[in-house]
Amino acid sequence: MTTQVDVQRPLAKRLSLQAAHAEGYPSVSTLRRYISDGRLPAVRFGGRIEIRRSDLEALAVPIQPATTPVDAAIHRLASSLPDLTDQQTKRLALILARTPTSASPSVGVQ
Confidence class of residue 87 from pLDDT cuts 50, 70 and 90? very high
Which carries the bigger pLDDT value, residue 13 or residue 102? 13
Q: Are 9 and 42 in contact (CB under 8 A)?
A: no
Residue 108 has pLDDT above 50, yes or no: no
Strands 43-45 and 48-52, sheet pairing:
antiparallel
The answer as to CATH 1.10.1740 being correct for domain 11-58 is no
Q: Among 9-13, 41-45, 61-65, 75-79, whose mean pLDDT is lowest?
A: 9-13
Tell me what pLDDT residue 68 has: 83
Break the chain into its structural domains and give their ranges.
Answer: 11-58, 63-97
The predicted-structure confidence for 44-56, as pLDDT tens digits, reads as follows 988 899 999 999 9
